[in-house]
């Protein structure tokens, strides 16, 4: 449902979508755009489908996230059309006829058969955006996913509308509720699976509605950056050391991406988390218009290096040396963040302009997902980490930098896995808004 507050700013959002698509169509020399929501796909040798995930270009127009075989069709200076699939089906619950206030912005055509959409496409050159199927080749002059159109729209998508920002705020609040429940479950000795279930209930999500698979990692599991296994066994409290949760929420198709790390005890790992939290907030405080995002990434390495030295994981070398020798990359092997919006890793992070030219990543930092200068309206994550990853530590131990590492202390911290702190940040005209910290404050 769309409440009055969202409905008001949604009107402006649709106007902006029209302007962006007008420009893309003009530059690409197309008459219309047809945006396909996507199709259902069935598991191999089975009649069960995978969970449906809509085309982000489709949900940029309409808050429809659960219905395949739909189209948004737009022609400049013509009211957009929504072709809405509603089959006759007694095996499954079909999508309800949309009646919410957002529907006023569209001419809605109901179809019972997916191929019925063909009759409602206009004549002329059509830029088709979405998952292509060969059956569409007979539907008219359709060009699948033309690069000039995609480049233009992906470039513009970095600037979020007020409607999108409000959806992101609400997605953060749903995620924050889940995080609070997950921490409570962890403190109570729950298993990874039980924590995951409590997260789903508190954030009001079915599993397939999550923007990405929840990372629920106890102890050394936190050293696997994308740990998606939900262990069923409860750990004895005397062997329960730490908990890392990377989990987000969705609202009208927009995602939040939040990570927190906790210690069981008020020990040195607890102090290390506090140091990382302070450091993460310092990175967020550096965000303002015209900041070069790679500079924030490089600053995160400098600050991780300072923490490595302060906690005596690395010795006989200062923070500059730790970064210069790339020792910090063993403990922080990923990028400090990425764009966020209709996708968790939203598009356009490397674009130099709307033509599709790209900005290279800093040398030695292959996993950074955002290389642009940030502007008001951009939303991205800030997520520094500090990990004790066996494979990377093994490489470090055989290098000439091994002599700088306090291996006894590093070994003692392997049982904790690692730390990641992640917030979603909006760039404003004068600085930034921390969507995640505000969400925690609102739902606490």
**Residue 270 pLDDT greater than 90, yes or no:** yes
Quick check: 59 pLDDT over 80?
A: yes
The architecture that CATH gives domain 162-443 is Alpha-Beta Complex (3.90)
Question: How far are the Cα atoms of 126, 416, 417 from residue 170, in angstroms, in the given order?
Answer: 35, 32, 31
Domain range list for the chain? 4-156, 162-443
Q: Is the dihedral of CA 26, 29, 35, 40 positive or negative?
A: negative
Q: How far apart, in whole angstroms, are the C-alpha atoms of residue 387 and residue 276?
A: 11
pTM for the structure as a whole: 0.97
Q: What does the pLDDT average to over 183-191? A: 98
Average pLDDT taken over every residue of the chain: 97
As a whole number of angstroms, the distance between CA 426 and CA 428 comes to: 6
The reported pLDDT for the residue numbered 181 is 98
The mean pLDDT value for 296-302 works out to 98
Q: Which CATH class is domain 4-156?
A: alpha beta
What percent of the chain is predicted at pLDDT more than 90?
A: 97
Query: Which tens digits make up the pLDDT trace of 94-114?
Result: 999 999 999 999 999 999 999
Task: Judge whether residue 1 has pLDDT over 80.
Answer: no
Q: Per the structure block, which two tokens stand in for 58?
A: 């489709």
Q: Which residues contact residue 398 at a Cβ distance below 8 angstroms, ignoring those fewer than 6 apart?
A: none
């Amino acid at each position: 449902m769309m409440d009055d507050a969202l409905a008001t700013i949604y009107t402006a959002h649709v106007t902006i979508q029209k302007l962006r698509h007008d420009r893309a169509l003009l530059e690409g020399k197309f008459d219309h755009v047809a945006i396909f929501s996507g199709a259902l796909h069935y598991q191999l040798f089975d009649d069960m489908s995978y969970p449906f995930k809509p085309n982000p270009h489709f949900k940029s127009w309409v808050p429809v996230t659960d219905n395949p075989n739909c189209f948004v069709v737009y022609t400049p200076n013509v009211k957009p059309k929504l072709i809405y699939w509603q089959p006759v089906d007694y095996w499954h619950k079909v999508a309800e006829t949309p009646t919410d206030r957002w529907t006023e912005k569209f001419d809605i055509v109901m179809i019972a058969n997916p191929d019925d959409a063909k009759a409602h496409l206009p004549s002329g050159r059509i830029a088709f955006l979405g998952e292509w199927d060969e059956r569409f080749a007979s539907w008219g002059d359709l060009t699948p996913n033309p690069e000039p159109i995609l480049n233009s729209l992906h470039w513009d998508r970095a600037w979020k509308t007020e409607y999108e920002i409000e959806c992101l705020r609400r997605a953060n609040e749903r995620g924050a509720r889940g995080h609070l429940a997950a921490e409570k479950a962890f403190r109570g000795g729950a298993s990874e699976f039980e924590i995951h279930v409590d997260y789903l209930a508190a954030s009001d999500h079915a599993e397939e509605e999550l923007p990405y698979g929840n990372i629920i990692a106890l102890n050394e599991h936190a050293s696997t950056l994308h740990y998606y296994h939900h262990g069923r066994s409860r750990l004895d409290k005397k062997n329960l050391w730490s908990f890392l949760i990377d989990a987000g929420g969705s609202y009208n198709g927009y995602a939040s991406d939040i990570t927190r790390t906790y210690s069981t005890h008020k020990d040195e790992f607890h102090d290390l988390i506090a140091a990382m939290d302070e450091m993460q907030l310092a990175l967020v405080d550096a965000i303002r218009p015209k900041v070069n995002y790679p500079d924030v990434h490089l600053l995160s390495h400098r600050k991780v290096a300072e923490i490595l030295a302060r906690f005596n994981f690395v010795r006989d070398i200062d923070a500059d040396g730790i970064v210069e020798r790339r020792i910090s990359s063993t403990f922080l092997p990923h990028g400090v963040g990425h764009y966020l919006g209709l996708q968790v890793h939203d598009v356009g992070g490397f674009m130099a302009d709307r033509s599709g030219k790209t900005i290279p990543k800093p040398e030695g930092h292959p996993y950074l997902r955002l290389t642009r200068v940030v502007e008001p309206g951009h939303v991205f994550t800030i997520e520094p980490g500090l990990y004790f990853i066996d494979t990377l530590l093994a490489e470090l131990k055989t290098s000439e930098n091994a002599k700088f590492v306090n291996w006894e202390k590093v070994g003692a911290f392997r049982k904790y896995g690692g730390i990641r702190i992640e917030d979603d940040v909006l760039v404003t005209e004068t600085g930034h808004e921390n969507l995640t910290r505000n969400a925690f404050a609102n739902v606490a």
